[in-house]
């Protein structure tokens, strides 16, 4: 309860809330009015937090931040709800003119479409206007400066420095500048980069302008020298063509001479080749048959192994297991039979004892009936009167006597108990001794089983040891073979790694191997028939040959056609074939060998001379040089302008074609392809490696078999170990039970021995009491005799004891005896019944085990039958295997016979081919020279055409100079095209259809026609140059002409003119002016953006620093007020709190460090504070931030959950003082808050309807009463 009445200050406040069908509030409910310091109380689950949701909802907080995923979740689902839509209305009061309070109503409603509808004083507005009106009264919904949710307080204290910065930005309003700040910062950077880029471009254009002016001067001088160089080229080309045509005519005559002889050799080769093909086809068919038989043999072996390992071994194991189970059952049945016999004997003995007890019980009953004394009515009345008189006189004596009798009876009961315990101990001892005797035989049996299992285990261990030893030897062998395998692979090195033995390559090799076996004329692939001499040229040769690397070389066109037909029948991928007898390939130009630093591609590979023509086709007139610079110099230099050819650089595999086009780039794929050359070098090593691999596979197969056998033995050993462990456990168990029972017998013996003296001692005490009882009874009897003397005379008895002792006492003793006998009879009957039940149970178990034994015998018979069937299958599979092996061997013998005949035919074919190859070499050498000189001639003509050098030609009668030049040009062009096609490896259609002799004769004729059609006019040459010269003299003339040309060329090369310099200069000047204008514009734009950015930056810093400085100055004071305790001296001042900026210049870019020091404690990090200390620190921060832009009211939801009573009192005192400046509504369950509040709002649940209800209590009237 507040201590003094407070007047409502002149500020706005939350007056009341009206909720309608919101969550747990059904119907329309008014909550309030709210005082300056109001506590909302109520039990858990009553709907207090729903009040917090209602306030948050009406001020427009986003649904995602509340306890609901969508607006529909806020509708009540209670049956007592009204038909009105869900809505919350906040009544806000603020001071007006004249001191009166002006009321505003803020309403938020959920429509039927699950959307929000906003109203201010009943007028519908949009969300933006609604937020604006809330902001006008001091409620910042975005920063939530007036709402503190449950469990949010402690998280505030644990916020990271960056999160605290974001919180200050939202409160200060600097967050609104963030977007402009980032956009201007990005634009400023982009503008600066653009200005730098424009400046760099202006420098480049300026330099380019200077260069263009220098190039204009150089171009003028270059044009004069160019005309002089062209005249020298014309003379040089005429000289070369004159010498080449002389040699070409000589070679044509030699070709015609050897062509006739070649025709006869080809006819012989065709006849022998057909016979070899026939035998190869027969061999292939037999090999297919052999492969089929071999596959069936492997299938039979798999079947045999499957039957051996999966069926027979399985049945043997199961039969052995069941036989052992049968033996175990037989032993168990035998032991049970013995127990049944013993039980039968015991039951018979107990029945005899029972009969004896029944007879004794009957005898005692008859005695009791015959010895009783009967009294009359008067006698009995007199006896009772005398008895009362006697009792009065013997009262004390009787009490002493009864006390002694009770003690005596107690001793008797004790001795009976001790004797009963002794009897039980003796029976237990006899039972244990009997069990020890029975266990002796079982122990002996288990010892035998244990010994048997031990022997089996030793035997298996010995077998496993032997097998393991052999397995280790095999593994050592495998290790040695594996080391060899690794050594082979290491020797193969990168070359082997580069050969991609993928599936496609393997299929290609298999097809090629089959073609070589089936068609004798197949020589192999180009890559397999040649070898690069040095590894540095492998990449270059790969570029030169390109797709021809995998082309297959065959002896003749017919073989190629047959191979293609075979591939088509097998639907195999296509392959390229190079028939040596019809391929149009020319020998390389000899002049290319004279170029310094360059090598012909055909000269850097080694190959069999028999396939030389295929290598000419694959390489052509291609030159390999070390570097790209050498390739450019050779391809573009005028020094070698008469030798047009392909050029490849060995370093980077760049290709320059005859036309001057350059090809190059990433060589990773080419490098991988080039590594295939190493495959030829490692063929022998590969064969050794493959042989070693086969041995390794055999050893691995043996190891796998041994491992399977070892695994089987280990499984058997595991089973025996399991049985051995079971037997050992049983043996140990019997030994333990035997020892335990012997120990128990010893203990029982000791207890029996100890019980004897105790019983004796008790008997002595009983005897002493009996003596005392006799004396007391004698005195008692004397008094009774005097009283009952006359009465005894009437009954004719000597004394009253005769009646009482002989009648009453006897009756009592007889009754006790009868009860004892009845109990013994019942006990014995129960014992007999229990024994019979055990007998029947044991008998039933025995019968069950016999049935189980019969079942096991049937299973053994079934397993033996299955085992016999499996063994029959095994025999049949082995017989089938033997038959398949016999047929396979028969086919193998036929294959060997065919191979023998095929080798003889191939020997004859080889001799015939060698003879033909000898003649062919002579023809090819002559043709190679023709091709060589034709290629040189075509190269010179092509060079002339490329360099636009016009050669003089003869005039025919009536033909104009222009016409003659044109026709000559066409003839030269056609010849050049045909020559180039030949060099590129193209096959003309007629080359495959003409006979060999005709082809070679045609080549000679074509060579003569080329000379005749050219009609070159050599009169332009000096007379001394128009004669046949030797190579040295030709070189001298060429050197003279080249020297003159070189001088001019060196001068021209040193100049390096740009013939388009005039046009480029104009274009560069225009670009220079444009860049200058663009540079000025970029500079101005960068300055404007920098200025705008600084303005936004300054505004953002000022907003942020204003808020931060305010919070920094307030937080220590607030924290001191929240933590101070006037009742304690050490806490009277309170703690300390302070904020620190990590970035002083632009604080919003970095974090804020928040530290507190609770009173009486040393400094520690916020994470090490207790829950209550964190809550107080968070509240201090929240109140400090709230004071920067104070809201008219603040609502806190259970912020005191982690606070103890002392901290609650401090927070309550602070809030009570603060309520004068700002209305505080607190949802709490702490009594301290109730005491200090101005009003209470109670929330509870209606039991009948389940909806929440609200009650309001104004505590200020109690302040007035107290005052």
- Higher pLDDT: 324 or 366? It is 324
| CB neighbours of residue 1236 within 10 Å | 21
Please state the rounded mean pLDDT for residues 413-430. Answer: 77
Share of the chain above pLDDT 90, in %: 2
Which distant-in-sequence residues (6+ apart) come within 8 Å of 1006 by Cβ?
Answer: none
The whole-number pLDDT of residue 7 equals: 43
Q: Report the alpha-carbon distance of residue 1026 to residue 93 in Å, rounded.
A: 125
Length of the chain: 1267
The whole-number pLDDT of residue 96 equals: 77
Q: What is the pLDDT of residues 306-359, one digit of tens each?
A: 776 667 777 777 777 777 777 777 777 777 777 777 777 777 777 777 777 777
Ranges 755-769, 1055-1069, 1090-1104, most confident: 1090-1104
pLDDT confidence bin for 18, thresholds 50/70/90: very high
The whole-number pLDDT of residue 458 equals: 84
Which one, of 198, 697, 739, lies nearest residue 432 by Cα? 739
Q: What is the pLDDT of residues 482-493, one digit of tens each?
A: 887 777 776 665
Mean predicted lDDT score pLDDT of the chain:
77
The whole-number pLDDT of residue 558 equals: 87
The whole-number pLDDT of residue 283 equals: 76
Q: Report the alpha-carbon distance of residue 245 to residue 238 in Å, rounded.
A: 11
The three-state secondary structure class of 137 is coil
DSSP state string for 657-703 = -TTS-EE----HHHHHHHGGGHHHHTHHHHHHHHHHHHHHHHHHHHH
Beta bridge partners of 28: 20
The whole-number pLDDT of residue 810 equals: 60
The whole-number pLDDT of residue 989 equals: 35
Q: What is the pLDDT of residues 587-645, one digit of tens each?
A: 888 888 888 888 888 888 888 888 888 888 888 888 898 888 888 888 776 455 556 78
Q: What is the pLDDT of residues 662-696, one digit of tens each?
A: 887 766 666 766 666 665 555 566 777 777 777 88
- Higher pLDDT: 397 or 1147? It is 1147
Q: What is the pLDDT of residues 1080-1138, one digit of tens each?
A: 888 888 888 888 888 888 888 888 888 888 888 888 888 888 888 767 655 667 788 88
Q: What is the pLDDT of residues 37-77, one digit of tens each?
A: 889 988 888 888 888 888 888 888 877 677 777 888 888 87
Q: Report the alpha-carbon distance of residue 631 to residue 803 in Å, rounded.
A: 156
CB 725 within 8 A of CB 450: no
Q: Which of 300-304, 536-540, 654-658 has the lowest mean pLDDT?
A: 300-304
The whole-number pLDDT of residue 491 equals: 63
The whole-number pLDDT of residue 553 equals: 93
- Higher pLDDT: 292 or 367? It is 292
The whole-number pLDDT of residue 970 equals: 36
Q: Report the alpha-carbon distance of residue 246 to residue 236 in Å, rounded.
A: 16
The three-state secondary structure class of 148 is strand
Beta bridge partners of 646: 622
Which one, of 1126, 1243, 1122, 1248, lies nearest residue 1184 by Cα? 1122
pLDDT confidence bin for 88, thresholds 50/70/90: very high
Share of the chain above pLDDT 70, in %: 85
pLDDT confidence bin for 552, thresholds 50/70/90: very high
Q: Which of 833-847, 1145-1159, 1223-1237 has the lowest mean pLDDT?
A: 833-847
CB 1118 within 8 A of CB 1180: yes
Please state the rounded mean pLDDT for residues 1181-1187. Answer: 81
3-state secondary structure 328-368: HHHHHHHHHHHHHHHHHHHHHHHHHHHHHHHHHHHHHHHHH
Confidence check: pLDDT of 1143 > 60: yes
The whole-number pLDDT of residue 364 equals: 66
Ranges 74-88, 302-316, 496-510, 594-608, most confident: 594-608
The whole-number pLDDT of residue 984 equals: 38
Q: What is the pLDDT of residues 706-761, one digit of tens each?
A: 877 777 878 777 777 777 777 777 777 777 777 787 787 788 788 778 777 878 88
Which one, of 50, 40, 38, 41, lies nearest residue 1251 by Cα? 50
Please state the rounded mean pLDDT for residues 26-36. Answer: 87
| CB neighbours of residue 27 within 10 Å | 16
Please state the rounded mean pLDDT for residues 1176-1192. Answer: 81
| CB neighbours of residue 1013 within 10 Å | 14
The whole-number pLDDT of residue 851 equals: 79
Q: Which of 132-136, 153-157, 183-187, 896-900 has the lowest mean pLDDT?
A: 153-157
């Amino acid at each position: 309860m507040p201590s003094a009445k407070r007047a409502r200050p002149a500020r706005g406040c939350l007056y009341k809330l009206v909720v309608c069908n919101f969550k747990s509030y059904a119907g329309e409910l008014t909550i309030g009015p709210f005082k300056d310091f109001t506590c909302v109380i109520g039990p858990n689950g009553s709907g207090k937090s729903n009040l917090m949701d209602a306030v948050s909802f009406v001020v427009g907080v986003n649904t995602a931040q509340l306890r609901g995923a969508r607006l529909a979740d806020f509708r009540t689902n209670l049956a007592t709800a009204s038909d009105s839509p869900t809505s919350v209305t906040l009544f806000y009061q603020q001071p007006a003119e004249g001191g009166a309070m002006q009321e505003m109503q803020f309403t938020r409603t959920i429509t039927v479409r699950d959307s929000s509808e906003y109203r201010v004083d009943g007028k519908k507005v949009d969300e933006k206007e609604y937020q604006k009106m809330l902001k006008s009264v001091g409620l910042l919904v975005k920063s939530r400066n007036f709402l503190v949710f449950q469990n949010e307080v402690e998280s505030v204290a644990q916020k990271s420095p960056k999160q605290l910065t974001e919180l200050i930005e939202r409160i200060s309003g600097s967050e609104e500048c963030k977007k402009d700040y980032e956009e201007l910062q990005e634009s400023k950077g982009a503008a600066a980069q653009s200005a730098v880029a424009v400046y760099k471009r202006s420098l480049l254009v300026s330099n380019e302008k200077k260069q263009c002016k220098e190039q204009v001067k150089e171009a003028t001088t270059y044009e004069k020298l160019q005309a002089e160089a062209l005249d020298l080229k014309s003379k040089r080309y005429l000289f070369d063509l004159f010498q080449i045509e002389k040699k070409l005519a000589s070679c044509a005559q030699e070709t015609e001479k050897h062509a006739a002889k070649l025709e006869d050799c080809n006819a012989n080769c065709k006849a022998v080749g057909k016979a070899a093909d026939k035998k190869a086809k027969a061999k292939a068919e037999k090999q297919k048959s052999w492969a089929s038989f071999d596959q069936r043999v492997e299938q039979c072996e798999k079947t045999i192994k499957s039957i051996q390992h999966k069926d027979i071994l399985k049945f043997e194991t199961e039969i052995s297991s069941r036989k052992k189970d049968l033996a175990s059952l037989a032993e168990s049945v035998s032991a049970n039979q013995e127990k049944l016999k013993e039980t039968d004997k015991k039951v018979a003995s107990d029945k005899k004892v029972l009969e004896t007890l029944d007879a004794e019980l009957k005898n005692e009953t008859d005695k009791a009936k015959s010895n009783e004394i009967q009294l009359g009515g008067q006698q009995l009345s007199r006896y009772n009167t005398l008895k009362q008189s006697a009792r009065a006189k013997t009262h004390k004596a009787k009490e002493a006597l009864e006390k002694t009798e009770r003690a005596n009876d107690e001793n008797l009961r004790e001795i009976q108990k001790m004797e009963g315990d002794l009897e039980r101990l003796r029976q237990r001892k006899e039972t244990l001794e009997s069990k020890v005797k029975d266990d002796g035989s079982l122990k002996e049996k288990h010892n035998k089983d244990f010994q048997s299992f031990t022997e089996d285990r030793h035997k298996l261990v010995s077998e496993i040891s032997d097998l393991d030893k052999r397995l280790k030897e095999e593994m050592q062998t495998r290790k040695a073979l594996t080391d060899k395998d690794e050594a082979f692979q290491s020797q193969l090195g990168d070359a082997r790694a580069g050969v991609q033995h993928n599936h496609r390559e393997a299929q290609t090799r298999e097809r090629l191997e089959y073609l070589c076996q089936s068609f004798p004329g197949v020589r192999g692939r180009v890559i397999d028939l040649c070898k690069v001499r040095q590894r540095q040229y492998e990449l270059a040769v790969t570029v030169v040959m390109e797709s021809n690397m995998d082309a297959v070389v065959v002896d003749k066109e017919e073989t190629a056609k047959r191979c293609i037909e075979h591939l088509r029948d097998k639907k195999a991928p296509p392959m390229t074939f190079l028939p040596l007898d019809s391929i149009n390939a020319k020998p390389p130009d000899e002049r290319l060998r004279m170029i310094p630093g360059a090598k012909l591609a055909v000269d850097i590979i080694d190959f069999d001379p028999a396939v030389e023509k295929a290598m000419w086709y694959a390489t052509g007139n291609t030159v390999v040089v070390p570097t790209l610079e050498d390739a450019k110099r050779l391809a573009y230099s005028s020094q070698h302008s008469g030798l047009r050819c392909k050029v490849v650089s060995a370093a980077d595999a760049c290709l320059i074609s005859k036309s001057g086009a350059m090809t190059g780039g990433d060589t990773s794929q080419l490098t991988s392809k080039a590594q295939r050359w190493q495959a030829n070098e490692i063929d022998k090593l590969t064969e050794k490696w493959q042989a070693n691999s086969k041995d390794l596979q055999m050893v691995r197969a043996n190891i796998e078999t041994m491992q399977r056998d070892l695994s089987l033995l280990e499984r058997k050993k595991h089973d025996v170990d399991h049985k051995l462990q079971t037997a050992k456990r049983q043996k140990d168990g019997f030994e333990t039970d035997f020892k335990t029972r012997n120990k128990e017998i010893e203990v029982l013996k000791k207890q029996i021995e100890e019980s004897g003296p105790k019983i004796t001692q008790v008997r002595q005490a009983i005897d002493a009491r009996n003596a005392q009882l006799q004396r007391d009874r004698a005195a008692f009897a004397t008094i009774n005799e005097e009283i009952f003397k006359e009465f005894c005379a009437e009954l004719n008895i000597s004394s009253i004891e005769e009646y009482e002792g002989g009648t009453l006492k006897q009756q009592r003793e007889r009754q006790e005896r009868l009860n004892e006998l009845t109990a013994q009879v019942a006990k014995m009957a129960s014992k007999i019944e229990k024994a019979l039940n055990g007998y029947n149970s044991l008998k039933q178990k025995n019968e069950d085990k016999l049935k189980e034994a019969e079942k096991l015998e049937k299973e053994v018979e079934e397993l033996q039958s299955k085992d016999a069937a499996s063994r029959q299958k095994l025999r049949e599979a082995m017989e089938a295997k033997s038959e398949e092996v016999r047929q396979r061997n028969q086919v193998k013998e036929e294959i060997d016979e065919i191979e023998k005949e095929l080798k003889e035919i191939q020997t004859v074919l080889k001799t015939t081919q060698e003879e033909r190859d000898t003649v062919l070499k002579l023809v090819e050498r002559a043709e190679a020279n023709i091709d060589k000189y034709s290629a040189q001639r075509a190269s010179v003509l092509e060079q002339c055409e490329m360099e636009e050098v016009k050669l003089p030609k003869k005039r025919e009668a009536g033909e104009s100079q222009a016409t003659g030049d044109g026709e000559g040009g066409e003839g030269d062009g056609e010849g050049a095209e045909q020559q180039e096609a030949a060099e590129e490896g193209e096959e003309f259609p007629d080359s495959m259809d003409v006979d060999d002799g005709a082809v070679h004769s045609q080549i000679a004729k074509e060579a003569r026609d080329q000379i005749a059609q050219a009609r070159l006019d050599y009169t332009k040459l000096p007379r001394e140059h128009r004669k046949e010269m030797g190579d040295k003299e030709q070189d001298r003339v060429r050197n003279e002409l080249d020297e003159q040309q070189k001088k001019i060329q060196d001068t021209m090369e040193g100049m390096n003119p740009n013939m388009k310099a005039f046009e480029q200069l104009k274009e560069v000047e225009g670009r220079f002016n444009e860049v200058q204008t663009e540079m000025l514009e970029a500079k101005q734009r960068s300055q404007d953006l920098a200025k705008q950015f600084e303005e936004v930056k300054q505004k953002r810093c000022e907003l942020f620093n204003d808020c931060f400085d305010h919070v920094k100055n307030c937080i220590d004071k607030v924290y001191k007020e929240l933590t101070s305790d006037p009742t304690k001296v050490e806490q009277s001042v309170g703690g300390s709190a302070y904020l620190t900026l990590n970035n002083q210049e632009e604080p919003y870019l970095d974090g804020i460090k928040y530290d507190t020091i609770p009173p009486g404690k040393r400094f520690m990090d916020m994470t090490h504070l207790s829950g209550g200390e964190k809550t107080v620190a968070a509240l201090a921060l929240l109140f400090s931030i709230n004071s920067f832009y104070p809201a008219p009211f603040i609502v806190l939801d259970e912020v005191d959950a982690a606070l103890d009573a002392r901290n609650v009192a401090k927070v309550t005192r602070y809030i009570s003082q603060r309520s004068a400046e700002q209305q505080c509504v607190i949802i709490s369950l702490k009594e301290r808050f109730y005491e200090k509040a101005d009003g209470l709002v109670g929330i509870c649940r209606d039991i009948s309807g389940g909806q929440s209800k609200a009650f309001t209590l104004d505590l200020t009237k109690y302040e007035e009463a107290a005052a």
